[in-house]
Amino acid sequence: MAEWRLPMPKLKEILRLYHEGGMSRRAIAASLDIS
């Protein structure tokens, strides 16, 4: 089974938005166009 990976810059942006921005997981996914 193949693994799906996020590029490191996108992963860092997710963490920044979640911790510093206080955004919900759903809002982050929508803003970065990921599921």
pLDDT of residue 12: 95
Question: What is the distance between the alpha carbons of residues 10 and 27, in angstroms, rounded to a whole number?
Answer: 15
26 versus 35: the higher-pLDDT residue is 26
Q: 18 — phi, psi (to 5°)? A: -70, -45
Average pLDDT over residues 20-29: 94
- Cβ(24)–Cβ(14) under 8 Å? no
The DSSP secondary structure of 9-23, one letter per residue, reads HHHHHHHHHHHTS--
pLDDT of residue 22: 94
| pLDDT 10s digits, 4-22 | 788 999 999 999 999 999 9
Give yes or no for residue 2 having a pLDDT over 90.
no
